[in-house]
């Protein structure tokens, strides 16, 4: 984003305003941190106050959206909820690009949704499209970690809501993750399975187990399995191996489609085996992945 947007003039005025506003607080009212709305609707008229000036204290995440944009309707509620959870450590500024074309022009918006992080009056990071919530959380965490020492409002907000104290790590998951990191898939699988034996509905453990199983298979995936499977459509083992090879090579839709077609051709225990293999694959991908959603619908159609 460096050099893409010049907010320096607005930033200079905002810094002067911030210094002026800070003087009375320093002289008499105990220095209490001002409260800031977590989510604000921004227009061209109040862009400086709502975005530039606030970004001198905390990051301001600008959500550029439009009423006709389908992905915007998925992304905006997630951003709003995360901003409320943050308790003022960052601010979400929502901008309707159709109603505020000069802001869209300022950020050189070519498609929406577009999300831009502003800190110290300048863009520091951005992404486009409706990312899954886990990726958005990770993006925001990285943003706060990078800016915590530069923007005083982050730490003040975190301290106001109880500091940065995190829940202690679950040693069971730590053991599983350590095993996965060192490539000991058998130990990682056993660790996740042990969690599930005690807590059958633990979604984190389910996802971890699926990831381990697929990673172990993907490392052994043979690209030639695809050709063998195409030549023997009734060979279940060949179809499963080929689907693993396709997904490992990034051909996710092809791997899913292969297993859906195999479900249609099979019955009984064989069908159930293929179905379980495919459902396990779904667990590897983030919630909301459109490829998974499409494959789930195709699988339901094949089964019923």
- The CATH number for 225's domain is 1.25.40
Q: Does any domain span residue 186?
A: yes
Instruction: Assess whether 177 and 298 both reside in one domain.
Output: yes
Residues 203-209 have a mean pLDDT of 86
Instruction: Assess whether 182 and 263 both reside in one domain.
Output: yes
Q: Does any domain span residue 29?
A: no
Give the end of a domain, one of 113, 141, 162.
Answer: 162
Instruction: Assess whether 56 and 155 both reside in one domain.
Output: yes
Q: For 5-50, how does the pLDDT look when each residue is reduced to its tens digit (9 = 90+)?
A: 555 555 555 555 555 444 443 333 333 333 458 999 999 999 999 9
Q: How far apart are CA 197 and CA 70, in angstroms?
A: 40
Q: What percent of the chain has pLDDT over 90?
A: 59
In the predicted structure, residue 55 carries a pLDDT above the cut 80: yes
Model confidence band, residue 287 (pLDDT cutoffs 50, 70, 90): confident
Instruction: Assess whether 299 and 178 both reside in one domain.
Output: yes
- Taking a C-beta distance cutoff of 8 angstroms, is the pair 147, 124 a contact? yes
Instruction: Assess whether 180 and 151 both reside in one domain.
Output: no
Instruction: Assess whether 158 and 178 both reside in one domain.
Output: no
Domain harbouring 59, CATH code: 3.40.30.10
Residues 112-126 have a mean pLDDT of 94
Q: Does any domain span residue 15?
A: no
Q: How far apart are CA 124 and CA 145, in angstroms?
A: 13
pLDDT at position 37: 85
In the predicted structure, residue 60 carries a pLDDT above the cut 80: yes
Q: Which position among 69, 117, 247, 260 bears the catalytic label?
A: 69
169 part of the active site:
no
Q: What percent of the chain has pLDDT over 70?
A: 86
Q: Does any domain span residue 178?
A: yes
Instruction: Assess whether 275 and 189 both reside in one domain.
Output: yes
Domain that holds residue 268: 171-303
Instruction: Assess whether 136 and 187 both reside in one domain.
Output: no
Residues 245-255 have a mean pLDDT of 89
Give the end of a domain, one of 102, 136, 162.
Answer: 162
Q: E-strand spans in the chain?
A: 39-41, 60-65, 91-96, 114-119, 122-128
In the predicted structure, residue 295 carries a pLDDT above the cut 60: yes
Mean pLDDT of all residues belonging to the chain: 85
Reduced to 3 DSSP states, what percent helix, strand and coil does the chain have, rounded to the nearest 5?
60, 10, 30
pLDDT at position 289: 84
Q: How far apart are CA 238 and CA 198, in angstroms?
A: 34
Q: Does any domain span residue 31?
A: no
Q: Does any domain span residue 199?
A: yes
Instruction: Assess whether 242 and 133 both reside in one domain.
Output: no
Q: Does any domain span residue 12?
A: no
69 part of the active site:
yes
Give the end of a domain, one of 162, 183, 218.
Answer: 162
pLDDT at position 59: 96
Q: How far apart are CA 290 and CA 285, in angstroms?
A: 10
Instruction: Assess whether 211 and 109 both reside in one domain.
Output: no
Instruction: Assess whether 115 and 157 both reside in one domain.
Output: yes
Q: Does any domain span residue 103?
A: yes
Q: Could you tell me which residues come within 8 angstroms of residue 57 by beta carbon, excluding any fewer than 6 positions away?
A: 18, 36, 151, 152, 153
In the predicted structure, residue 143 carries a pLDDT above the cut 50: yes
- 288 vs 83 pLDDT, higher one: 83
In the predicted structure, residue 3 carries a pLDDT above the cut 50: no
Q: Which position among 7, 66, 72, 240 bears the catalytic label?
A: 72
Number of domains in the chain: 2
Instruction: Assess whether 95 and 189 both reside in one domain.
Output: no
Q: What are phi and psi of 113, to 5 degrees?
A: -75, 145
């Amino acid at each position: 984003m460096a050099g893409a947007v010049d907010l320096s003039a607005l930033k200079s005025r905002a810094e002067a305003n911030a210094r002026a506003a800070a003087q009375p607080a320093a002289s008499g009212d105990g220095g209490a941190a001002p409260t800031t709305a977590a989510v604000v609707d921004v227009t061209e008229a109040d862009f400086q106050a709502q975005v530039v000036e606030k970004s001198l204290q905390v990051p301001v995440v600008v959500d550029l959206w439009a009423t006709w944009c389908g992905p915007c309707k998925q992304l905006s509620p997630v951003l709003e909820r995360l901003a409320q959870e943050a308790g003022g450590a960052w601010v979400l500024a929502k901008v309707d690009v159709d109603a505020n074309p000069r802001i869209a022009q300022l950020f050189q918006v070519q498609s929406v949704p577009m999300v831009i992080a502003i800190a110290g009056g300048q863009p520091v990071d951005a992404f486009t499209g409706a990312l899954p919530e886990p990726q958005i959380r990770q993006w925001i965490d990285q943003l706060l970690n990078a800016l915590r020492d530069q923007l005083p409002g982050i730490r003040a907000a975190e301290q106001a809501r109880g500091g940065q104290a995190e829940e202690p790590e679950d040693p069971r998951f730590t053991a599983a993750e350590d095993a996965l990191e060192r490539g000991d898939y058998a130990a990682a699988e056993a660790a996740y399975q042990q969690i599930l034996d005690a807590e059958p509905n633990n979604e984190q453990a389910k996802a971890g187990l699926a990831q381990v199983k697929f990673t172990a298979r993907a490392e052994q995936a043979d690209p030639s399995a695809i050709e063998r499977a195409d030549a023997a459509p009734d060979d279940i083992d060949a179809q499963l191996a080929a689907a693993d090879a396709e997904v490992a090579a990034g051909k996710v839709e092809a791997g899913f489609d292969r297993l859906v077609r195999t479900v249609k051709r099979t019955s009984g225990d064989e069908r159930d085996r293929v179905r379980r293999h495919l459902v396990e694959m779904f667990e590897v991908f983030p919630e909301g992945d459109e490829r998974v959603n499409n494959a789930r619908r195709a699988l339901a159609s094949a089964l019923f």
